[in-house]
Chain A
């Protein structure tokens, strides 16, 4: 029994890792553009299919495929910014609809390119660590945890210690006042889109061997990410990380000890509870990013 609990904790840490990367990217984009990017799940999917194409298809080394996936999806983010969001600034509904349109385009491209069936990817490694008696962590999952720690730390340093980081937070807090400091909203938006999309891409790429990608894999992840950013307080980066950890633990434990459908319901109930008790989310006030 205690092994099962320890194993579930390890699984929760893994889930918390990839969910926080997804949610943080979504929050970053929302903070600067004021748009919930509904195509975020499809960016994650695009990262996974980069690995399908390069690692499974072309036999490139796994980590090369992952890095290419991150950059490629980051560039997709720039395309979205350029093609849709820039023209639709100050129009949250328009941005939302455009992101749904982009979601459908990416899904269709994935179907045309790879078919609707699950792509099975051979693991890049069979190694695993035995943390305690009978409690295992595969290297494939460890990569995701390490990536989350490194990337979230790097993002934190970027936002707190560099002038583009201050500028990004400034834009999220007061766009006009930021413009009066000589900060170009277009430039900052591009950086936020690249980072936010790239984070979704790297998660998709790293988890591809673990999840068997399909063109529709973005659906469940966007719903989960949405719950997390509401729980954390929309616009709150730290809130998103804490909420991702909370959600991951609750969801993983309920899945293990009851089942997945119950876990999804518990997740939604969690969101509703937070909305009733504190409508601005756990970390929400009017503070953003």
Chain B
């Protein structure tokens, strides 16, 4: 397993957001985490990236224990996250946003090459490379956020609700890009409220309910599960 989460707990003050969550992410394909608002999906990704400290449990990445590392060290291990709400840097240009993703890399020529790759994936960003990120549409900002994460050449990509607030055509575009990324050999952890979409893309799925994993398994199987159908697939 590339990533192993073992019985982690996360507290915000006195509120327990995660109460013993365990997950495994293999070397390829998409693992999805679905669940209702406030179930703890974002908190799980934040814990992996070191933004929220865990109060118990362990997180292992490629044979190394990472749960005590600060966020920048976790990026250096090869885990990139596209956070909920995109969080592009509003007053940086598109190109500057993308280049901050390569902050830990020192290979100038290679960085330029990665930038061109991102522009090939997202031609719209190339046209807008010197524009302030805050002037972009929501879909374009999501592309910047994904492109920025790819600029670190991650070995694992965490995506928190990339479809949020986007029109169906744009979501399709994002999905196509996601499949490209996976085809290029980068495994993805996808957090989604759109369970239908998430289960159709992923190989494995975890269902989070109020801070605990209530169901886990092959995505296709969960798609047919009665509880999942009722609670997350609208019937």
Spell out A's residues near B (CB within 8 Å): 163, 166-167, 169-170, 173-174, 176-184, 286-289
Contacts and interface: CB of A to CB of B under 8 A. Distances in A.
Contacts of A183: 72, 100, 103
Contacts of A166: 92, 96, 99-100
Contact of A287 (B50, B51, B83, B90): B90
Contact of A177 (B50, B72, B89, B134): B89
A167 B152 CA distance: 14
A170 B51 contact: no
Nearest to A183: B103
B223 interface: no
A138 B193 CA distance: 68
Contact of A176 (B70, B87, B96): B87
A182 B87 contact: no
A161 to B, nearest CB: 10
B91 A180 contact: no
B159 to A, nearest CB: 12
B87 A181 contact: no
A181 B91 contact: no
Nearest to B87: A177
A176 B103 contact: no
Nearest to B90: A173
Contacts of B87: 174, 176-177, 180
A169 B81 contact: no
Nearest to A176: B51
Nearest to B148: A181
B80 interface: yes
Contacts of A163: 99-100, 102-103
A182 B152 CA distance: 9
B49 interface: yes
B103 A174 contact: no
Interface string B130-153: 000010000000000000110010
B151 to A, nearest CB: 8
Given A181-B148, A181-B152, A182-B72, A176 B83 contact: yes
Contacts of B92: 166, 169-170, 173
Nearest to B81: A180
A66 to B, nearest CB: 33
B188 interface: no
B99 A169 contact: no
A116 B91 CA distance: 45
Nearest to B88: A177
A166 B91 CA distance: 10
B12 to A, nearest CB: 14
A287 B152 contact: no
A181 B103 contact: yes
Contacts of A177: 83, 87-89
A174 B149 CA distance: 15
A180 B83 contact: yes
Given A173-B89, A178-B89, A180-B80, 4 more contacts: A166-B100, A178-B100, A184-B70, A289-B91
B197 interface: no
Contacts of A173: 89-92
B104 interface: yes
Contacts of A169: 89, 91-92, 96
8 contacts: A166-B100, A169-B92, A169-B96, A176-B87, A179-B72, A180-B149, A182-B152, A289-B91
Nearest to A287: B91
Contacts of B104: 182
A179 B99 contact: no
A181 B51 CA distance: 12
A140 to B, nearest CB: 37
A170 to B, nearest CB: 5
A93 to B, nearest CB: 19
A289 B132 CA distance: 13
Interface in B95-131: 96, 99-104
Contacts of B71: 176, 179-180, 182
B75 interface: yes
Interface in B42-89: 49-51, 70-72, 75-76, 80-81, 83, 87-89
Nearest to B49: A180
Interface centre among A179, A181, A289 (most CB of B within 10 A): A181
Given A173-B90, A176-B51, A181 B75 contact: yes
Interface centre among B83, B101, B103 (most CB of A within 10 A): B103
A197 B167 CA distance: 48
Contacts of B100: 163, 166-167, 170, 178, 181, 183
Nearest to A288: B91
